[in-house]
Amino acid sequence: MDGFKNFLFRGNLVDLAVAVIIGTAFGAVVTAFTEWLTSLLPPGADDVFSADTYGGRFMNAVIAFVILAAVVYFLVVTPYVKAKEKFFPSPAPGTPEDIVLLKEIRDLLSAQAPR
């Protein structure tokens, strides 16, 4: 499981390819959802969103984009960030250990240097 966990939380080309595939699938779901929502509008109200007009196509694209962005943010990005922080916590604020170690080495070397 550790290997799978590390795969999920590191960034590379394979992860990007997986994200594109999942994004395409989400796009299809959002398109179907948008069409379903438009079918629920009362008769005559869907003329505003008709695909026959340029404004209607634009409005459909904007609505689909907003829904897709919300779905990706709330169902993918937010859980990913929380899981990543849980498994790979950010270092505590302060001076990193390597800087502290380097300062100690510098101080020891300067104390040993002939004057």
- CA 83/CA 89 separation, integer angstroms: 9
User: What pLDDT does 78 receive?
Assistant: 84
- CA 10/CA 8 separation, integer angstroms: 6
User: What pLDDT does 104 receive?
Assistant: 92
User: What pLDDT does 106 receive?
Assistant: 93
pTM: 0.45
User: What pLDDT does 44 receive?
Assistant: 62
- Residue that is written with structure tokens 């897709």 in the block: 68
- How does DSSP classify residue 113? S
Instruction: Report, as ranges of residue numbers, the positions in the chain whose pLDDT lies below 70.
Output: 7-15, 17-18, 43-55
